[in-house]
Amino acid sequence: MELDDPVYQELCATLHQEAGEQVERIGALLLELEQGASAERRQAILEEAFRQAHNLKGAAGSLGFTLTARLAHALESVLEHLREAAGASAAGAFDALQRALAAMPRALAADPGATADPEVDPALAELLAIHGKPSQPPGPSLRSEGLAHAEKPAEAHITAAVDREAVFTHVAVPRSGSGSTLISGAGAPPPRDETLRVSTKKLGALMSQVGELLAARMRTDQRLAELRELLLGEEELLERQSSLRALLRQREPGEPNGVSRQLSSTLASVSEHQKELVRRLRELVRGFESDALQSTILSGELQEDIRRIQTFPLSQVLDPVPRTVRNMARDAGKQVELQIEGAEIELDKKVLESLRDPLHHALRNAVDHGVERPEARIEAGKPSHGKVAIRAEHRGESVVITVQDDGPGVDFDAIRRRAIERGLLSFEQARELPEPRLIELLFEPGFTTRSKADRFSGRGVGLDVVRTNVEQLRGSVTLDSSPGAGTTVTIILPLTIYVVHSLILGVGDARFAIPISSIERILRLRPSEVLKVEQSDAVVVGGRPIAVMPLASLLGLPALPVERREWITVIVVGAAEMQCALAVDEIVGDETVLAKNLEAPLVRVKNIAGASVLGDGSVILMLNPLDLLRAASLREAEGRGLGVHEARERPPRLLLADDSFTTRSLERSVLELAGFEVMAVADGREALRALEERPFDVLVSDVDMPHLSGLELCRRLRAEERFRSLPVVLVTSLGSDQDRRKGLEVGADAYIVKSEFDHEKLVAVVNGLIGRP
């Protein structure tokens, strides 16, 4: 069989996958042995490890992977030696065995046909030194003997039925390309005839199609809404026709004749037609609603089933971690006790795969930078064994994974020194920068507090990689540390990355989606509830003040002043320990959207996590909550607060409308003297224009004016939500009860008759309306 033969390539890929699993399994077994096991368990462990090594040797040899087979053979020999010498201590062999396992990927990469490798040879020699027998050449190769002699690679299966238990007890899907990975759970593998192999690529494509189905369903909802609107219009038309017919009957109570009769007859016929149309439309809407509901249920179930097929337990990523941590600790000369909680939590396959590297980096940081050497720990009054804990838990639609160590915590002085050395901060800035901001520097590419890099860390490529990888999955990563209390890396990931339940927000003319999982609360506040804490606006949520700022400002969009509004809508966004309240113009609704990443050239846009195509074909941008929190903490919206306090501190703005120059001048001087900032206009139309252009706190208007009267002006203002709470004082010479009633009917807050006019009364009324003493 030729090297480039597709079947041979396929078998090689399978071998790579299987070998990875076998190496991980042997490593985990050896670790269990090293940590102490009963004599009976010891034998069982060695049996299984031997069997795994033997299988690996056989598969490698049959495909001409000579070096891999030799290494597996040597591994097998040492394990056999340990198994046979039942009472012998295996302590001395552990390091050699683990190093051989670590060299296995290298051997696999060098094969097929490799005879030596500078990294594999020492591991081989070390094993040979233990069991004292030279490595036997592996058995016949598949390449020379043909497929018929090949030791068939272990079958990997996925159950065809969408049965959660069945799927998760024995599932195999290729990690990439055409190979396969075996993930074993409890229980025996299901019979072969119930299973079939499915590539993750195919499942991913299926999930994308379900996503498109979701988009189509959203379009259906939109069509349904349009249909309902059409029905409403037709029903209104029918009502008008009925009113028209009633009017005709009223006008000509007797037998109509001539044009009236013709009109009446035509109207009756049109109404009949209209009734039939409305009836059919109602039926259509009902049918459509029922179909839409059915389609919603079915597509939702399908989506959930496919999501479940693609969901695997976190243990898939965590199983090799004990061995990795053991090796890291051994290499760093440290003693580490690892604790894992929540390995059973299930995550999307793609999320899991992308979690390996971030988790590895976080663990590397915990062991290298976190936990101290035994002597330092004893000196600090701590046990010689450091602790590293990995905890995973569900939080809404997210999974929160923390990697925590009990080391001395982040060395903030070292960060300051390094930041000054690298020219990132001046001495003054470094001294004054708060600790959360200093921690952010650790996520800068190439930033490390280590003065010297070793083969494991110190190159500053850790945390920035963690953040980049996690954020690509629309997740977030934060780091918390306090002196003496260790360090915690918190990774928050969505359970699934395809569909995101989002809140749709209106900011000016734009619409944005934000994952509901990132929102802690939605509040409706009166401007008076906004506090001023130093230079920041804040609101009290659950007894704690939280900074509040306009979302528009964080996004660099023009923010509408809130001073005109009766209510301010804010969403409280939180991640890890960070919280911020963001003022939005409108909450449009919630939608489950199909999330798509932005692609090159828009590789990573600040504050934007991705986008989704809505039912009407428009694109909605998905906000990145962590970016927003980061921007808020860096005070990027500085100077662009809600404007509530500025409104309170400046003199109140008063709009004065009166067509008489004398009255205007008189009232203006009175009001300015009373501390108002007055803008005077000559009629209602000018007043409307002025109100459109800038905010005012109160309007004082004459009633009888050209172009637009005070009453009409007031009526128009009250018809608009944004002006509904604007205090309006009508000052007029029309003093009858009827005039007063008219004024109050159109929504004026006060009515002052010019004949009763007295300066103090006007000022007192206006002050009273705006709550000014």
CA distances from 658 to 110, 143, 661 (A): 92, 101, 7
- Which region among 324-332, 350-358, 408-416, 443-451 touches another protein (by CB under 8 A)? 443-451
Rule CB under 8 A: choose which of 134, 146, 445, 651 binds another protein.
445
Nearer to another protein, 620 or 670 (CB): 620
Does residue number 616 form part of the binding site for another protein (CB under 8 A)? yes
Closest CA to 30 of 91, 103, 74, 108: 91
Does residue number 205 form part of the binding site for another protein (CB under 8 A)? no
N-terminal to C-terminal alpha carbon distance within the chain? 96
CA dihedral of residues 142, 143, 147, 150 (deg, nearest 10): 10
Distance between CA atoms of 262 and 255, rounded to whole angstroms? 12
- Which region among 61-69, 271-279, 366-374, 605-613 touches another protein (by CB under 8 A)? 605-613
CB of 433 to another protein, least distance (A): 17
Nearer to another protein, 83 or 604 (CB): 604
CB of 445 to another protein, least distance (A): 6
* Strand ranges of the sheet holding 698-701, from the earlier edge strand across to the other edge: 677-681, 653-657, 698-701, 728-732, 750-753
In the three-class reduction of DSSP (H, G, I as helix; E, B as strand; rest coil), residue 362 is classed as: helix
Rule CB under 8 A: choose which of 434, 601, 639, 773 binds another protein.
601
CA 164 to centroid of chain Cα atoms? 26
CB of 471 to another protein, least distance (A): 6
Nearer to another protein, 545 or 574 (CB): 574
Angle at 491 between CA 488 and CA 492, to 5 degrees: 135
Nearer to another protein, 606 or 650 (CB): 606
Closest CA to 767 of 679, 720, 700: 700
Rule CB under 8 A: choose which of 160, 248, 465, 613 binds another protein.
613
Does residue number 162 form part of the binding site for another protein (CB under 8 A)? no
Rule CB under 8 A: choose which of 109, 213, 598, 744 binds another protein.
598
CB of 640 to another protein, least distance (A): 14
CB 313, CB 345: distance < 8 Å: yes
Please tell me the count of residues contacting another protein according to CB under 8 A.
38
Phi, then psi, of 424 in degrees rounded to 5 = -80, -30
Distance between CA atoms of 167 and 190, rounded to whole angstroms? 9
- Which region among 77-85, 303-311, 623-631, 661-669 touches another protein (by CB under 8 A)? 623-631
Nearer to another protein, 259 or 603 (CB): 603
Does residue number 223 form part of the binding site for another protein (CB under 8 A)? no
Nearer to another protein, 485 or 605 (CB): 605
Distance between CA atoms of 262 and 249, rounded to whole angstroms? 13
CB 102, CB 327: distance < 8 Å: yes
Instruction: Read off the tokens for 427.
Output: 């001495």
Q: How many CB atoms lie within 10 A of CB 589?
A: 10
CB of 619 to another protein, least distance (A): 4
Contacts (CB under 8 A) with another protein, residues 274-333? none
Does residue number 258 form part of the binding site for another protein (CB under 8 A)? no
Instruction: Read off the tokens for 45.
Output: 């462990």
Instruction: Read off the tokens for 691.
Output: 């109100």
Rule CB under 8 A: choose which of 85, 225, 293, 602 binds another protein.
602
Rule CB under 8 A: choose which of 263, 504, 608, 666 binds another protein.
608
Does residue number 186 form part of the binding site for another protein (CB under 8 A)? no
CB 762, CB 670: distance < 8 Å: yes
CB of 444 to another protein, least distance (A): 8
Does residue number 603 form part of the binding site for another protein (CB under 8 A)? yes
Phi, then psi, of 4 in degrees rounded to 5 = -90, 5
Nearer to another protein, 398 or 478 (CB): 478
Nearer to another protein, 626 or 671 (CB): 626
Does residue number 423 form part of the binding site for another protein (CB under 8 A)? no
Distance between CA atoms of 771 and 773, rounded to whole angstroms? 6
Closest CA to 97 of 117, 114, 82: 82
Nearer to another protein, 7 or 619 (CB): 619
Closest CA to 729 of 682, 771, 766: 766
- Which region among 122-130, 311-319, 567-575, 611-619 touches another protein (by CB under 8 A)? 611-619
Nearer to another protein, 240 or 606 (CB): 606
- Which region among 261-269, 428-436, 463-471, 736-744 touches another protein (by CB under 8 A)? 463-471
Nearer to another protein, 17 or 553 (CB): 553
Does residue number 618 form part of the binding site for another protein (CB under 8 A)? yes
Does residue number 385 form part of the binding site for another protein (CB under 8 A)? no
Does residue number 444 form part of the binding site for another protein (CB under 8 A)? yes
- Which region among 230-238, 355-363, 603-611, 689-697 touches another protein (by CB under 8 A)? 603-611
In the three-class reduction of DSSP (H, G, I as helix; E, B as strand; rest coil), residue 347 is classed as: strand
Rule CB under 8 A: choose which of 607, 701, 709, 732 binds another protein.
607
Query: Binding string to another protein for residues 535 to 574, with x set by CB under 8 A, is what?
Result: --------------------xxx-----------------
Does residue number 619 form part of the binding site for another protein (CB under 8 A)? yes
Distance between CA atoms of 587 and 604, rounded to whole angstroms? 26
Contacts (CB under 8 A) with another protein, residues 629-668? 630
Rule CB under 8 A: choose which of 87, 542, 617, 639 binds another protein.
617
CA distances from 140 to 135, 146, 176 (A): 15, 10, 29
Does residue number 627 form part of the binding site for another protein (CB under 8 A)? yes
Rule CB under 8 A: choose which of 317, 611, 655, 766 binds another protein.
611
- Which region among 227-235, 300-308, 373-381, 594-602 touches another protein (by CB under 8 A)? 594-602
CB 604, CB 631: distance < 8 Å: no
CB 733, CB 754: distance < 8 Å: yes
Closest CA to 522 of 489, 473, 570: 570
Nearer to another protein, 526 or 606 (CB): 606
Residue 157, by phi and psi: left (phi above 0), alpha (psi -120 to 50) or beta? beta
Nearer to another protein, 434 or 617 (CB): 617
Closest CA to 443 of 418, 424, 460: 460
Distance between CA atoms of 749 and 769, rounded to whole angstroms? 8
Distance between CA atoms of 70 and 123, rounded to whole angstroms? 11
Rule CB under 8 A: choose which of 131, 416, 467, 474 binds another protein.
467
CB of 478 to another protein, least distance (A): 11
Per DSSP, the residues of 134-171 read PPPPP---HHHH-GGGS-PPPP--EESS--HHHHHHEE
CB of 439 to another protein, least distance (A): 13
CA distances from 656 to 38, 681, 752 (A): 93, 6, 14
Enumerate binding residues for another protein (CB under 8 A).
212, 443-445, 464, 467-468, 471, 510-511, 555-557, 596, 598-608, 610-613, 616-621, 626-627, 630
